[in-house]
Amino acid sequence: MVLTYLMEPPAVRDDPRPVGAAAVVRDPLPTQGLLDFRVIELLFFAYREFTGDADSILEKYGFGRAHHRVLHFVNRDPGLTIAELLDILQITKQSLSRVLRQLIDEDFICQIPGDEDRRQRRLYPTEKGRALAIELSRAQVRRIEAALAKTTDEDMRPIATFLTAMASDRQAARDWFERKDISWKDRE
Amino acid sequence: MVLTYLMEPPAVRDDPRPVGAAAVVRDPLPTQGLLDFRVIELLFFAYREFTGDADSILEKYGFGRAHHRVLHFVNRDPGLTIAELLDILQITKQSLSRVLRQLIDEDFICQIPGDEDRRQRRLYPTEKGRALAIELSRAQVRRIEAALAKTTDEDMRPIATFLTAMASDRQAARDWFERKDISWKDRE
DNA sequence: CAGATAGGTCAGCACCATTGACGTAATTTT
DNA sequence: AAAATTACGTCAATGGTGCTGACCTATCTG
């Protein structure tokens, strides 16, 4: 191996802009300078752990995250049409097809023609699919509840408000939140 | 196309468990039943919008999310070694290599042998890389700040506490948070 | 000098997403 | 009743991002 790009080590220690090379930046972007990076990085690390909980379970079944998402929404809203599911997931039907095919073939989900419109293939979980969906959500809820352990009902409001605002750009998301009552009405 | 799996439509409307077919589940998983799905779904939709902001910019450069992550952490912590970066990203060096190679070849990042240990290839952003990192973060900060528009300093605490708890499973994450002071000491 | 460490690379594979094109069945429109 | 539209399925090709395994160089350490 030749490592040509290293044979003449950039002389940046003496000259920050050697001829023909771009300037090297040595100062870090500070956590709270022009931009505040704290929430960016918290979201990155938090979401990775969040999905990791489910990923390790999915591996046992030979599934990936895409399977999880399909399974989740079919369980949350049985009778969903393909079009509705695509609208929620924001992927193409070609992307969905492979994943859905596997879930159907392995008997986690089944399709039933719509009553009114028989072109539709409405999606329902099987008992097997329901069980897996619950297993996956249980793992994620465990982490969430642990993270919220010391959170009061009062403190839950700003958290929910923040996440809802982050999430509510698309109509499909807003519709889902309203239909499924994803909000923090203080419950007592 | 034959659609064999549809030729004999499951008679589940009459019999929930026809011979040889799995039981079909028709009731939805309620938002707050045995499990509370609200935070799960808020995180899913929120993170998708959050990454989408950067994705559309990256597309212009022919880059993906992996490039973004590398660029981000190299900008946040210039002089990072490969090993340190791998520890933060939790990927293999083979996964990193393609992405890093492109960022180096296209002059967004450069490598400089370590002063003390010359085996190390310490990573620094170029001015071009710094500019892109800022452009990407600006888009994400814009969404975050909009979502936090009505949030008081007081309300910021529970949000930060929640995300930090969600994110802090791994030592590498905890170290990063401490080193970069990712926390909400009320500032005034 | 021997071994460990930091890093690079090749080959092959899996997963998940894309676009484009084409097909079928059912519903709606004319 | 014919035509157009809709709902869905599928084939083919491609790209991005991850993985494992194997093997390489350069450097540091004992």
Three-state SS annotation for B51-114: HHHHHHHHHHHCCCHHHHHHHHHHHHCCCECHHHHHHHHCCCHHHHHHHHHHHHHCCCEEEEEC
Q: What are the residues facing A110 on neighbouring strands?
A: A124
Integer angstrom CA distances of residue A96 from A87, B2, B187: 11, 19, 47
Subunit contact B168:A36, Cβ cutoff 8 A = no
Cβ contact B125–A173 (<8 Å): no
What's the confidence (pLDDT) of residue A130?
98
Mean pLDDT of chain A: 89
> Residue B60 has which token pair?
């212009």
* The pLDDT of residue A48: 98
* Residue B178 to chain A, least CA–CA distance (Å): 11
User: A-chain residues within 8 Å CB-CB of B173?
Assistant: 45, 49
pLDDT band, residue A13 (cuts 50/70/90): very low
How far does the CA of A64 sit from the C1' of D19, in Å? 13
CA B100 to chain A, closest CA, distance in angstroms equals 13
pLDDT band at A186 (very low <50, low <70, confident <90, very high): low
Q: Which residue of B has its CA nearest to A44?
A: B167
In this predicted structure, which of A12-26, A79-93, B35-49 has the lowest mean pLDDT? A12-26
- Proximity of residue B64 CB to strand D below 7 A: yes
| Nucleic acid strand C within 7 Å of A56 CB | no
Question: How high is the pLDDT of residue B22?
Answer: 63
Residue B7's pLDDT is 34
Res B163 pLDDT > 70: yes
Write out chain B residues lying below 8 Å of A181, CB-based.
Answer: 31
The rounded distance, in Å, linking the Cα atoms of A85 and A89 is 6
User: Which of A1, A26, A44 is best to mutate for the B interface (most B CBs within 10 A)?
Assistant: A44
Query: Can you give the pTM of this predicted structure?
Result: 0.89
Region class of B117: left (phi > 0), else alpha (psi between -120 and 50), else beta: beta
The pLDDT tens digits for A134-152 are: 999 999 999 999 999 999 9
Q: Does the distance separating the beta carbons of B6 and A111 come in below 8 Å? A: yes
Task: Indicate if the pLDDT at residue A14 is higher than 60.
Answer: no
pLDDT tens readout for residues B22-73: 699 999 999 999 999 999 999 999 999 999 999 999 999 999 999 999 999 9
pLDDT confidence of residue A135? 97
Q: What is the DSSP letter of B120?
A: -
Is strand C less than 7 A from the beta carbon of B111? yes
User: How many angstroms separate the CA atoms of A151 and B150, rounded?
Assistant: 20
Q: What is the pLDDT of residue A108?
A: 98
Contacts of A86 (CB under 8 A, 6+ apart): A92, A93, A96
B144 CB below 7 A from strand C atoms? no
